[in-house]
Amino acid sequence: MTFHQHTLPNGLTILGETNPAALSVAVAFWVKTGARDETPEVAGVSHFLEHMVFKGTPRRDAFTVNRDFSRIGADNNAWTSEENTVFHAVVLPEFLPEVVDVLADILRPSLRGDDFDTEKKVILDEIVRYEVQPGWAVSEHARKHFYAGHPLGNSVLGSTASITALARDQMAEYFKRRYVAPNIVAVAAGNFDWPKFVSLVEKAAGGWPTGVAPRTQRIEPPGAGGVHVVTKPPDKVAQQYVMLIAPAAPADHELGYAGAIVSTVVGDYTGSRLFWALTDPGLADEAGMGVDECDGAGAYYTSFNCDPERASKCYGIVRELLDDVQKNGITDDELQQAKTKVMSREVRAGERTQRRMLTVVKDWVYRDEYRSVDDELAAWDAVTMKQIREVLDRYPLTNQTVTAYGPLERIG
Q: Which residues lie near a second copy (CB under 8 A)? A: 21-24, 62-63, 66-67, 69-75, 90-92, 95, 121-122, 270-271, 275-276, 280, 282, 336-337, 340-345, 347-348, 350-353, 373
Cα–Cα dist 187/366, whole Å: 14
What single DSSP character describes residue 151?
A: G
Which C-beta is closer to a second copy: that of 246 or that of 265? 265
- Answer for the pair 55, 4: CB distance below 8 angstroms, yes or no: no
Query: Is residue 116 a contact partner of residue 56, using CB atoms and an 8 Å limit?
Result: no
- Angle between helices 168-178 and 113-131 in degrees, nearest 10: 90
User: Do 295 and 226 touch, CB atoms closer than 8 A?
Assistant: no
Q: Given the complex with a second copy, which of 57 and 354 has the nearer CB atom?
A: 354
Tell me if 107 sits within 8 A of 29, measured CB to CB: yes
Nearest to 256 by CA among 295, 303, 217: 295
Q: Which of 17, 38, 50, 293 is catalytic?
A: 50
CB closer to a second copy out of 71 and 176: 71
Cβ–Cβ < 8 Å for 174, 80: no
Closest to a second copy by CB, 275 vs 301, is 275
Active site residue 50: yes
Q: How far apart are CA 92 and CA 192, in angstroms?
A: 10
Name every residue whose Cβ is closer than 8 Å to that of residue 150 and which is 6 or more positions away in sequence: 217, 219, 221, 297
Q: Judged by CB, which is closer to a second copy: 51, or 253?
A: 51
Question: Contact 332/385 with Cβ under 8 angstroms?
Answer: yes
Q: Least distance to a second copy from the beta carbon of 136, Å?
A: 17
Sequence length of the chain is 412
Contact 52, 109 (CB under 8 A): yes
User: Among residues 42 and 377, whose Cβ is nearest to a second copy?
Assistant: 377
The helices-and-strands tally (H runs, E runs) of the chain is 15, 11
Cβ 207 to a second copy, closest distance in Å? Answer: 29
CB of 135 to a second copy, least distance (A): 14
Q: What is the CA radius of gyration of the chain?
A: 22
Task: Please give the Cα distance from 230 to 375 (Å, whole number).
Answer: 44
Q: How far is the CB of 98 from a second copy (least distance, A)?
A: 11
Q: Least distance from C-beta 141 to a second copy, angstroms?
A: 23
Report, in Å, the least distance between residue 68 CB and a second copy: 10
Catalytically active residues are 50
